[in-house]
Amino acid sequence: MTDATAIGLVSVALMLVLIYLGMYVGVALTLLSFVGVWIIRGDVGIASNLLALAANDAISDYIFGVVPLFVLMGLLVSVADIGKDTFEVANQIFRRVRGGLGIATVAANAVFAAITGISIASAAVFTKVAVPEMLRHGHTPRFAVGVVAGSSVLGMLIPPSLLLILYGVLTEKSVGDLFIAGVIPGIVLSLAYIAGILVMARFWPAFVGGNDAALAGVDTGPLMSPATMAAKLLPVVALVALVLGGLYGGAFTPTEAGAVGAAGALVLALAKRRLGWAQLWQVLVETGRITAAVCFLIIAASLYSRMLAISGVTELLKTAIVDSGMGFWGLMVIFIAIVLLLGTILDSGSIMLITIPLVLPALVGFGTDLIWFGIVNLLAVEIGLLTPPFGIACFVIKATLGNESKITLNDIFAGAAPFAVIMFGVMLLVIAFPQLATALL
């Protein structure tokens, strides 16, 4: 092992320590990469030039226009109350099914995910929309928030997805192909959640709760007319068809699809008279904040990847893994275990930024299908949204509920646990049957 490789390995270990102590992952990546190159090359000028090149090259590509556009679309859709309309329709469809409110939440979240791409947005919207309704019908607080937490992760799996965009950038794979690969696993996860709710309502009623009418699926209010249901669903169906239909049909690039979707969401928000000047300003500021955070992380990841390459860490790991005899499946087991462990302390994007540059050379050496691996990786990473102590989806739900709510953070994590287990099962299913991710390609 060379001195440069040792410096690279020490920087990786220090990065994990700094992040665990609370340093923002982008700052930790940038700082240690800069210092690492400085020490390896013995010249601060080289490190400065590398930082400048990373900042310029990492986000200068045309594809990065998709980030603010899809973020803007998702926030405009949230303002337009499309999530609420979708939930109301889904509730009417599943009102006679045992645990129907939970199923309605999953179904609505799946549709909402197809036009947002942000799990946090889904968690915030359906905490306001679905949790009060489930509590009103006698469901337990843990079940109510657990359904919302579990189904919110669909926002990062069902395309468009910011994490799939990030993965595409890190691996230099087609974002459009990754979007297509996420469709079937997203549907499978939605169906698995619905099956899980049906099983829990049947065999674990103490967890689900609900009054007699809610558990038995008895009507508890007037039926919504088919015309009203169609009117509520038409905007979201039209937007999904416009964006994803154009993207998968080859009419749009991912960036163009984001622009069309943002324009369509703006028209919907204006048509529903939900968007005043104050709301528009708030949406634009939030779009800028999220975009800046994502771009900073991408720049930091680019610098981190270059430092690892210069130090020889990536080549060392590739050689060690390939020559160790553990094989590809041994690497997969170790990788998933590390990702699940990191999920207890880091957010999804940070986990991906740290782990992908380290294992990518070994994956390429094994001839891995990186599109399939991207979906497996995303499922593993997203489980971290539901696991303590850092599960960000659970923190968003708690923040949305407010301090006056009697539902504790422990309640949210306990409610989300069965859905994290279901998600783990779906991940194993995608590993066993790669066609679930590649069939549409």
Tokens of 280: 């528009």
Question: What is the predicted pLDDT for the residue at 218?
Answer: 47
pTM: 0.79
pLDDT in tens, 157-175: 888 788 888 898 889 898 8
Structure letter (DSSP) for residue 407: -
The pLDDT of residue 399 is above 90: no
Neighbours of 241 (CB within 10 A): 11
- Measure the CA–CA gap between 382 and 392, rounded to whole angstroms: 10
pLDDT in tens, 312-340: 877 777 777 767 777 889 889 989 988 88
The pLDDT of residue 369 is above 80: yes
The pLDDT of residue 293 is above 80: no
Question: What is the predicted pLDDT for the residue at 160?
Answer: 77
Lowest mean pLDDT among 55-69, 189-203, 232-246: 55-69
Q: Decide which of 147 and 261 is more confident.
A: 147
Question: What is the predicted pLDDT for the residue at 204?
Answer: 87
Tokens of 397: 């739900």
In whole angstroms, how far apart are CA 127 and each of 25, 161, 175? 28, 20, 30
Tokens of 180: 């297509």
- Measure the CA–CA gap between 45 and 223, rounded to whole angstroms: 70
CA dihedral 74, 79, 85, 91 (to 10 degrees): 80
Question: What is the predicted pLDDT for the residue at 9?
Answer: 83
Cis bond upstream, residue 222 (ω within 30): no
